[in-house]
Structure formats: structure tokens, C-alpha cells
Structure 1
Amino acid sequence: MNVNEFDFELPEHLIAQTPLKERSKSRLLTLDKNTGETGHRTFEELKEFLQPGDLLVLNNTKVLPARLFGVKADTGAKVEVLLLKDNGEDRWDALVKPGKRIKTGTRIVFYAPGEETPILSAVIEAEGEMGQRSIRFRYEGVFLELLDRVGQMPLPPYIRETLDDKDRYQTVYAQHQGSAAAPTAGLHFTQPFLRQLEESGIRIAYVTLHVGLGTFRPVSADTVEEHRMHSEYYVLPEETAALIRETKQQGGRIIAVGTTSARTLETAARNAEDIGCLEGSSGWTDIFIYPGVELRLVDALLTNFHLPKSTLLMLISAIAGRERILAAYREAVEREYRFFSFGDAMFIY
């Protein structure tokens, strides 16, 4: 398949620049994956499409304040660093700007607001492609505490507005730090709404997938099949695996909240001989789901609206078919839904 088959026209004014005042007041486009029938609701009406015994699976990763602004120690030139992957021993994979000028051996220092002494320093240890670098930090104290003082939320490049409350780029159930981007389908949930769902018989479980480099890289291949995903770390707890097994045995649906949850579930499913034998697991996944790739575990998906020609658009097309997805997107554009991270939601069932 040609990547251009997943293109669509999106007016720039539909790209949501800021979150809504209330998380759960977004709009919800519903899509029947078998018939293509669409509906237009509010997010809180999602509960009308869920049934007792269904299992909602949410990604509880927590976004690091991973965008750092520092200076070269020798010249004072400004440098931007986006942390992507923790390799242990204070070594990270990162994207660096300006990439061409930041060579191996460069030392970068970072200051907390209002302070004259740097609290973090880093040395470039290796160079990769397209601005990627391997860096090693030096500091005194607790790294995550220092990072919280100097770092900013790594908002996607299409968001140009300043985020006043950095917690709005975290889900209300975020727990395990490690992501370079939020699992944005979960941003619509509030704790009271989650309790309402549980009280109505909907079960809730969690996985963790730390979003990394793949989120920031476009598809550069001409055909879908040629594209290769970057690896991201995931955890499927045994408690969640047990709930999945029980739900499937009782005829309930597995509903992934977000493409990251879907990728985690499908990775775990491929590592099991049979869903009835599914066990907790963890590791690295580079799974790429697109039309023609069978989903073994995910029955329905709650998601936001995605970029043209993106791997995320290809993933949801694997669930409902490319033609139905693009038709639904045209309808969303006509009705002026809000797109991308802070935008409206879509439920594919």
C-alpha cells in the first residue's frame, strides 16, 4: 500500500491548540467498524456504548518533563534536548537541536529558572540520524527531581500555544514515569467518570507503554510495508492479563484506550500461543499494525484523531478499514471536530 492512500485534507484551524476547560466535555464520533455507520455524541455518552463485562484497558505511563533548554558549555549557544529513552546509568537517547552543530564530545549545561549555576550537565557520547544523539548526564541529587525543575512538557510540534497547567498533558491515572508524549486518548477521562463506568459494571485495567521516538518521526518510506517502527518499552501486569483472560472467557470485549494500549495488547497477544494462556509480560515492542495485520485481542478502540499518513491512522484503519476511517474523518472535518492531542475523541466498535 502506498503511504499516500492514508492522506486527507485537514484545515489548520481544526488542530486543537489548548485542552478544553473540562476534560470530559469533548465531542465523540462513533464508528461501527462493520457497517461504517457513524454517530455524533459527547464523550460522557461513551458509557452508552459499553456493556457490563467489558474491559477498558488504559495506558498509565506518565510523561516526563523531557524537553530541556540548555547551552553549550564552551560557547553559550542555545541547545534544545528532547529525552526519548532511558538506557540506564544516566544515559539517554535524545533528539537534539540544532542537530548538525551538536557533535560527539559537546557538553551542555542546564539551568533552573532564576538560578545562575547549572544543576544538570550532559555530554554527547554518540551521534545518530536526524538529530538523534546518545547523551550522558552528570548531576548531584535525584535526577527526576532536577528534571522537574529544568524540564518542560514535550508538547507535539503542531501545538504552538503555551500550556498553562502541565498536568493537562497527563492522564488522571498516570503513574509510571517514562514517556516522551502523553497517551492522549486517556486525557478525556476524569476520576468521577471512571468510577461511574466501574459502578455500571465496566471493568478497568492498566498497561504501561512509554511513548518514544516513533511518535515524533513521520513515515519516510513510500509504501506502508517498508516502514519500521522504533522500539518502545511496555509492561502488561499479570493482574491485567488475568482480567483479559476472564473477560474473553465470559464473552466481554477488550476495549483499548488509545493506540498505545492497543499496541501493548497486540504485542502480548503475539507472544502467547493462545489468548487463554495470556500471561503478564514486559519488554520492547516495535509492532506495526496496518490494514492486513490481524488484531488478536482488541475488540474496540477509543482514540483521538490522528495526523495524515501517520502510523496511528494506519493502525485504526486495520480495525475498521481504510475507506471507512477516511470517510469518518471527512465527516469529522465537515463537522469541525477538534484534531490531535487536545482534540475530540473517536470510538471504533
Structure 2
Amino acid sequence: MKTSDFYYDLPQELIAQDPLEDRSSSRLMVLDKNTGKYEHRIFKDITEYLRKGDCLVLNNTKVIPARLIGEKINMTGENSGEPGRGARIELLLLKRKENDIWETLVKPGKKAKPGTKISFGDGILFGEILDVVEEGNRLVKFYYQGIFEEILDRLGQMPLPPYITRELKDKNRYQTVYAKYEGSAAAPTAGLHFTNELLEEIKSMGVNIAYVTLHVGLGTFRPVKVDDVSKHHMHSEYYQVLKEEADKVNEAKKNGGRIICVGTTSCRTIESSCDENGYLKAGSGETSIFIYPGYRFKIMDGLITNFHLPESTLLMLVSAFAGRENILNAYKEAVDKRYRFFSFGDAMLII
């Protein structure tokens, strides 16, 4: 199976640049994975497709303001660039390795050799490049006084995807309303459509809601650079499934309810954590599961997701679930009907 099998043509103007004022008023395409037929609805209509006894699985990770802009400290005392200032260096925090050591993406990489020191916020925070790791990422040790998370909240920016070119006015619009555990470099964007009111309405219908955690790394969005899909390597991401949440999923499954994941990250978490019989196990660890056509789903029955980039691993995952032809036909329809695409765009329910 070739990467080019997952290409579709997307006009640039359909890439959503801003979140809607009302999260739940985005458009919703409902796709029947067995017949390939689709309907056009509004996201809050999702209640009409849920049944008592179903279980929604949500990823409660929280995006950290992981983008830091700093200046290189020239140890000779002679700064490059404008007088009195060092070269500009941008860091994106990807994964905490130890307390103050993070794996990061650094731009420009050529200015970030081991031993390089960087100042952020006029010396509120310092970083030192320790080593170069896979894909050219850097291990950075941070030095500061106080609480790192508070400093990050003050100095850091939300790590919006490169296809979003406008500045986000409200940081919370790149968080789900149920975000709880900090650690992601990107939002689980399917969950951005839910409001607290809509979740309460869903609960009142007798639908169970289970929370899992997967800290989203940029590896999820890394382009597939090989022609043969099976040769692509996914980066690992940390996940956790608590026992009480696993029990909710297993109980729903046992009683004939459907397990409906909100987002590809929730899907990857529970598919990584269950056994061959579809029994979800509590635990935590790293997953690098790569789901593409030919994969046999063990536990997921339905998926709420956004519209994904051409030739991406996320598009391959939804194609594995609903069929490549069904997905590409639905995406063509979405383009024709001027749906909004990607992180701040519209949604799809596959069931």
C-alpha cells in the first residue's frame, strides 16, 4: 500500500484558521462505514446517533504552552545578530524525559549544538543543549527558580500546527473543556467540539463517559516520507488508562454498548491497551501503534474525528476503520460542500 493512495486535493482556503465561537456548532458529517453513505448535520446533533449504554472515550490530556522563543548565549561575550542580543532560537517541548530534561525540536538546529546555552524571558529561564537524539531533536536541561509549569505558562506559546497562520487570541480554545493532565504538544482536536453542556446532555441519556490519557507528540503529525506505508515508523507517546475508566469501557462492551472514541488519540490508546478479545486493561506506558488499512480493530465501534491532512497517518487510521474508498469519497464530498478542515475545522462521526 502506497502513501500516495491516501492523497486528496484540498483547496488552501478550506483550512480552518480560527475556532468557532460556539464549539458545538461546527458541521458534522456522519459516515456509515459499512455502506459509505453520509449525512450532513451540526455537531450538537451527535446526541441523535448515541444510545443508552454506549461509552464515549475521551482523551483528557492538556496541551502545554510548549513553544519557547529564546536567545543564544554567546560564551565569548560577543553576541551575534543585533547589538546586545544573541541569535534567536525557538524550542518546542515534545516530551519530558526527567524532571528538568526535555526532548525538544529546535529551530534553527545548526545553532543548537551540545553545550549551547539559551536564555528565555530575559533570564527567567535558561536551557542547555545536552545531546542530539533521533530525527535531529535535542535533549535540553532547564534551569530556573520557582515552579517550571508557572514559568512555562508565563513565557510559552501554544504550539499551533504550521498550517494555522493566525495567532490564537484565547489559549483555552486549543484545549478541550475536559483537559486535565498536562503533557501534550498538540491538542486532541476531535474533542474541541464538545461543550460542558453537551457532555451533560450525553450523560443524561445514559451514555457512559470514560477518560483516558495520551500525551500527543508531534510524531502523530509527522509526514510519511516513505512510499511503502508499512515502512513508516511512529514515535512513541505516553498513555495511561486508570482502572475505573477501563471498568466503564469493559462494562459497556459486556452489556452490548458501543465503544465510540473521540479522536484518533483515544482510539490509539484503547487499541494499544486491550487484549485480543477486546478487554481493556488498566495501565500506563509508551505506545507507537500505527493503524493503517488491514488492521483489525479489537475494541472500537465508532469514531468522532476531524478531517485530516492528505497522506497522513491519521487519514490512514480512519481509512482502516471505514475503508479507504469510503473515506476518500466522503472527503471529496466535504471539499465540495466547503467543510472546514484540520484542527479548528469540522467533524466526522464514523459509525
Q: Distance in 2 between matches of 1:215 and 1:150?
A: 25
1:88 matches 2:81: no
1:287 matched residue in structure 2:
289
Contact 1:122–1:136 (8 Å) recurs in 2: yes
Selected match of 2:310 from 304, 308, 312: 308
Question: What is the SS of the residue equivalent to 2:138?
Answer: strand
Aligned to 2:8: 8
CA distance in 1, matches of 2:179, 2:326: 32
Preserved contact between residue 293 and residue 323 of structure 2 (Cα < 8 Å): yes
Matched, 1:275 2:278: yes
Instruction: Report 1:162-177 matches (<5 A).
Output: 162-177=167-182
In structure 2, what residue type is equivalent to 1:333?
V
Q: Give CA deviations for 1:4-33 in whole Å, capped at 9, x if unaligned.
A: 000000000000000001111100001000
Three-state SS of the structure 2 residue aligned to 1:241 is helix
CA distance in 2, matches of 1:215, 1:236: 19
State the SS of the aligned residue for 1:153. coil
Moved more, 216-225 or 334-343: 216-225
Match of 2:163 in 1: 158
> Aligned match of 1:124 in 110, 115, 129?
129
Distance 1:148 1:345 in 2: 29
Shift of 1:273: 5.1
User: 1:31 maps to what in 2?
Assistant: 31
Residue in structure 1 matched with residue 189 of structure 2 by the alignment: 184
2:286 partner SS: strand
Please give the alpha-carbon distance, in whole angstroms, between the structure 2 residues aligned to 1:183 and 1:252: 24
- CA shift, 1:220, in A, is 1.1
Is 2:220–2:234's contact at 8 Å kept on the other side of the alignment? no
Question: Is 2:224 the partner of 1:219?
Answer: yes
Correspondence for 2:300: 298
1:166-210 deviation line (CA, Å, top 9, x unaligned): 000000000000000000000000000000001111111100000
Q: Is the CA contact (8 Å cut-off) linking 2:56 and 2:262 kept in structure 1?
A: yes
Please report how far the alpha carbon of residue 101 of structure 1 lies from its aligned counterpart in structure 2 after TM superposition: 2.2
Partner AA of 2:103 in structure 1: D
Q: Which consecutive unaligned segments of at least 5 residues does structure 2 have?
A: 80-85
Which 4+ residue blocks in structure 1 deviate beyond 2 angstroms?
Answer: 128-131, 272-276
Question: Aligned partners of 1:109, 1:48: CA distance in 2, in Å?
Answer: 53
TM-score (norm 1): 0.96
Aligned to 1:318: 320
Tell me, in whole angstroms, the C-alpha distance in 2 between the residues paired with 1:100 and 1:242. Answer: 49
User: Which residue does 2:87 correspond to in 1?
Assistant: 77
Mapped partners of 1:274, 1:7: distance in 2: 33
Q: Return the offset for 1:256.
A: 0.2
Q: Which runs of 5+ in 1 are unaligned?
A: 112-116
Query: What is the one-letter code of the residue matched to 2:242?
Result: P
**Aligned with 2:319: secondary structure?**
helix
Q: Distance in 2 between matches of 1:89 and 1:52?
A: 43
Deviation at 1:281, TM superposition (A): 1.1
* 1-structure distance, mates of 2:220, 2:117: 27
Give, in whole Å, the separation in 2 of the partners of 1:167 and 1:324: 34
Mapped partners of 1:216, 1:303: distance in 2: 15
Work out which of the residue numbers 130, 142, 146 in structure 1 matches 2:147.
142
Task: Give secondary structure in 2 for the equivalent of 1:284.
Answer: strand
SS in 2 for 1:244: helix
CA contact 2:118–2:126 (8 Å) conserved in 1? yes
Asked if the contact 2:190/2:263 (under 8 Å) is kept, the reply is yes
Shift of 1:213: 2.8
Q: Is the 8 A contact 2:212 2:241 kept in 1?
A: yes
Deviation, 1:215, is: 3.0
What is the root-mean-square deviation of aligned Cα atoms in Å? 1.0
* Per-residue Cα deviation, 1:124-149 (whole angstroms, up to 9, x for no partner): 01113554111111111100001111
2:110 — aligned with what?
100
Quick one: which amino acid aligns to residue 120 of structure 1?
A: L
For 2:92, what is the secondary structure of its paired residue? strand
SS in 1 for 2:191: helix
| SS in structure 1 at match of 2:329 | helix
Q: Show the 5 A alignment for 1:22-61.
A: 22-61=22-61
Give the drift of 1:71: 0.5
Q: What is the DSSP-based 3-state SS (H/G/I as helix, E as strand, rest coil) of the residue aligned with 2:219?
A: helix
Residue number in structure 2 paired with 1:231: 236
Q: Deviations over 1:208-245 (max 9, x none)?
A: 00001313421111111000100000001111111111
Structure 1 residue identity aligned to 2:72: K
**May I ask how many residue pairs the two structures share in their alignment?**
341
**Equivalent-residue separation in structure 2 for 1:273 and 1:225 (angstroms):** 21
In structure 2, the partner of 1:114 is none
